[in-house]
Amino acid sequence: METLKGTVDHIIFHNDKNGYTVADFDVDGQMVTVVGNFEELKEGEFLKLTGFWKEHQSYGEQFQIESYALDLPTSEEGVIRYLSSGLLPGIGEKTAIEIVNHFGTDTLDILDNHPDRLSEVHGIGKKTLDKIKEVYSEQKEIRDVMIQIQEYGISSTYAMKLYKTYQSDTVRVLLDNPYQIIKDVRGIGFKIADQIAAQLGFESQNPKRILSGISFCLQDCYARGNTYMTEKDLIEYSAGILGVPKEDIEFQLQELALRGDVRLEFIDDEPAYYPSALFEAEDNAALSMVRLAGAVFETQTVDIPAMIAAYEEDMSIRLDNRQAEAIETAIENGIAIITGGPGTGKTTIINGIVYIFKRLGMKTVLAAPTGRAAKRITETTGEPAKTIHRLLEYDYSGDDDFPSFNRNEENPLEVDAIILDEASMIDIVLLNSLLEAIKPGTRLILVGDADQLPSVGPGNVLQDLIESNVVKVVRLDRIYRQSEESMISINAHAINEGMMPEINNQSDFMFIRTMDPDKVLDTILDLVAWRIPEKKGFDAMKDIQVISPIKKGKLGVISLNKELQEVLNPAADYKKEKTLGTVVFREGDKVMQIKNNYKLKWEDIHGFETGEGVYNGDIGNITRIDEYNKTFEILLTDDKKVVYEFDQLDELTHAYAMTVHKSQGSEFPVVIMPMVGGPPMFLNRKLLYTAVTRAKKMLMLIGPQNYFYRMVKSGDTNERRTALKQRIKMYGELNV
């Protein structure tokens, strides 16, 4: 390792997201290029850099920075360069020389301790002096704090993040409770805070450490979809992570419960802990469910069979008994659940309910947990559907994990009925928010496929509701989309029942058997880029979607995206590119929005319509990268043009391939999926069933057949620890 001392002369490049910076650095008048990760670097700063020299293919010799610290120059020449670097307002080279001529090597000491003496120098008036004093003292504070925290061995990147949050309080906060930074500083989790604490000399049995470690374990539990952890599991897990005796965990758990951070409950006679917010969500949701389900509607005056008959006539179909029962149940009850596999008529029933409610003069809204799903429902029903976040008027300023909404108990939705499609995707927190905004007398109809993967967020909502036996459930079981040539629906139903489907490569459900992962990859690339577009006329970008059960590895989404980009949109001189970390975004790329952004503006390219809101799962193509304005232009599949700033790039990912979880709620003409091996916890029947049901016209599975077989036979090993079912039963029995 070497050290360099000098002034930041010019920042050539800075990536706001990961801090990657390239700069010209002035070492005693000699310019060198330095590269490294900086939270924020200012031109003019004097730094001590530690790192090593390396040769870059195109740019020659560069200094790669491992760590840095703010420092001060010692030579007169260095001080002149430092003062005139632009860091201090009103000081150019001429004034800097005059200052140093006057004070010599004491200059910085004068600035630190007797800044008023600067007025002795010709050309520095009161205004300039005041400004210099202000900026210099800010600089000094940053320098002092940074020097102090870096002495504890905290890396420069974290040191700057900490300083930005706490400023002059940084050291005090760190010494008092380094675990506090997990809550306050974005991007710092338990593991980093724990390392910092160790460097500060915190013992492993320090109560603050144990409290924070338990919270981390609980958080990890709900990141896996559970709402609680049994006491036994939580103690074992925490003791393992923290490396302390179980008794220490038990003791601090009581402390957390006393503080109200966690909630102790007995579930099936076993003690269990919830993060308090999740307990509230689950318990409130259960209570609201029971209350809504208990609503009685006067429907004697409504001739339901006649209304159904009118709908049948208008649509020229004949509903089967279950379908008719589904509509009746929705009309007669406060809550109804309508569940069924693909092609069993869920959309047909939604249309029927909307049709009848309209005739009854009822105000009805359609909603879905994701933007993609809402869009699809709008397309299939012809009725406008909203995301739940939109419906409830999401408050942007809040925390994404526990969102707050303008529609709530005090300001409920003024509607007569809410139909929620893709209900399997709703998590417990969002369900609770929705229920809070529903006033008595409003009907709630949940439509979905209970056999699909549960929500990404915590809870197992749809299945728990069904199993509670308190809410009315109708299961649609007859498949209508079953024309002779369509094996996708038939096979999806077979998979769902744990039976090996019939595979006949003449149908729309195909399986290509290949053992070698390299071959699987080659086949996918060949199919997407050439064979399917040429032989079947599907568009490689628009119609074909590759999905994968995994993110990492050769057949994971990250690698597939790189490979598919290479064949579908290779680099070319005329295509501009922008790199984010290791990902290259290129004009022409297929990309996907990965979070809901309700403020992002769009413009319909066919008309003058404009609006706001681009949703998690929206797909489009990069049509333009504009280096000058630092923007990206994206054309979404529904012909909306959206302009992103460069610093919003982390809201996008390539969409040549996506995970099965991400594909939930969307459908594609052609779906291609590699078969990969892995634990049944992740690779199970539900996942396969969800993947298969994404395909509308053609499905191709590629890989070893035994992986396929294992998934079909694996059953539902994805059991989550949730207690919505038990709570609904309990409140139901209490007759609240």
Ligand X SMILES: Nc1ncnc2c1ncn2[C@@H]1O[C@H](COP(=O)(O)OP(=O)(O)OP(=O)(O)O)[C@@H](O)[C@H]1O
In terms of DSSP bridges, do strands 509-513 and 404-405 run parallel, antiparallel, or are they unpaired?
Answer: unpaired
Minimum gap (Å) between residue 668 Cβ and ligand X: 12
User: Using the rule CB under 6 A, is 345 a contact of ligand X?
Assistant: yes
Identify which of residues 174 and 308 has a Cβ nearer to ligand X in the complex: 308
Identify which of residues 489 and 593 has a Cβ nearer to ligand X in the complex: 489
How far is the C-alpha of 82 from the C-alpha of 73, rounded, in Å? 7
Alpha carbon distance, N-terminus to C-terminus of the chain: 70
Q: Is residue 90 annotated as involved in ligand binding?
A: no
Retrieve residue 438's tokens: 């529903």
Among 7, 21, 323, 339, binds ligand X (CB under 6 A): 323
User: Using the rule CB under 6 A, is 481 a contact of ligand X?
Assistant: yes
345-348 contact pairs (CB < 8 A, 24+): 345/319, 345/320, 345/476, 345/478, 345/480, 346/421, 346/447, 346/448, 346/449, 346/476, 347/377, 347/380, 347/381, 348/315, 348/317, 348/319, 348/323, 348/480
Give the distance, in angstroms, between the CA of residue 386 and the centroid of all CA atoms in the same chain. 20
Site for ligand X in 485-524 (CB under 6 A): none
Q: Is residue 343 annotated as involved in ligand binding?
A: yes
- Pick the closest to residue 714 from 691, 690, 685 (CA basis): 685
Site for ligand X in 409-438 (CB under 6 A): none
Q: Is residue 346 annotated as involved in ligand binding?
A: yes
User: Using the rule CB under 6 A, is 666 a contact of ligand X?
Assistant: no
| Only segment of 191-199, 345-353, 406-414, 720-728 that touches ligand X (CB under 6 A) | 345-353
User: Using the rule CB under 6 A, is 348 a contact of ligand X?
Assistant: yes
Dihedrals phi, psi of 527, to nearest 5 degrees: -65, -45
Minimum gap (Å) between residue 319 Cβ and ligand X: 5
User: Using the rule CB under 6 A, is 346 a contact of ligand X?
Assistant: yes
Which residues, 6 or more positions from 557, have their beta carbon under 8 angstroms from its beta carbon? 548, 550, 551, 657, 658, 659
Specify whether the CB–CB gap between 419 and 338 falls below 8 A. Answer: no
| Only segment of 312-320, 390-398, 555-563, 639-647 that touches ligand X (CB under 6 A) | 312-320
| Only segment of 39-47, 97-105, 316-324, 715-723 that touches ligand X (CB under 6 A) | 316-324
Retrieve residue 393's tokens: 């008027």
User: Using the rule CB under 6 A, is 78 a contact of ligand X?
Assistant: no
User: Using the rule CB under 6 A, is 448 a contact of ligand X?
Assistant: no
Q: Is residue 348 annotated as involved in ligand binding?
A: no
Identify which of residues 344 and 722 has a Cβ nearer to ligand X in the complex: 344
Angle at Cα 300 formed by Cα 296 and Cα 306, nearest 5°?
Answer: 120
Minimum gap (Å) between residue 492 Cβ and ligand X: 9
How far is the C-alpha of 502 from the C-alpha of 510, rounded, in Å? 10
User: Using the rule CB under 6 A, is 352 a contact of ligand X?
Assistant: no
User: Using the rule CB under 6 A, is 691 a contact of ligand X?
Assistant: no
User: Using the rule CB under 6 A, is 329 a contact of ligand X?
Assistant: no
Going from the C-alpha of 699 to that of each of 487, 489, 694, the distances in angstroms are 9, 11, 9
Minimum gap (Å) between residue 696 Cβ and ligand X: 8
Specify whether the CB–CB gap between 639 and 605 falls below 8 A. Answer: yes
Minimum gap (Å) between residue 305 Cβ and ligand X: 15
User: Using the rule CB under 6 A, is 317 a contact of ligand X?
Assistant: yes
How far is the C-alpha of 463 from the C-alpha of 568, rounded, in Å? 40
Kindly report the number of other CB atoms within 10 A of residue 542's CB atom.
Answer: 14
- H/E stretch holding 24 reads strand 20-27
Residue nearest ligand X, CB atom distance: 480
Among 340, 448, 501, 674, binds ligand X (CB under 6 A): 340
User: Using the rule CB under 6 A, is 369 a contact of ligand X?
Assistant: no
User: Using the rule CB under 6 A, is 458 a contact of ligand X?
Assistant: no
How many residues touch ligand X (CB under 6 A)?
Answer: 15
| Only segment of 337-345, 568-576, 630-638, 668-676 that touches ligand X (CB under 6 A) | 337-345
| Only segment of 3-11, 301-309, 341-349, 648-656 that touches ligand X (CB under 6 A) | 341-349
- Pick the closest to residue 326 from 232, 485, 446, 432 (CA basis): 446
Among 233, 236, 250, 320, binds ligand X (CB under 6 A): 320
Residue ranges for the binding site for ATP? 343-347
List interacting residues with ligand X (CB under 6 A): 317-320, 323, 340, 342-348, 480-481
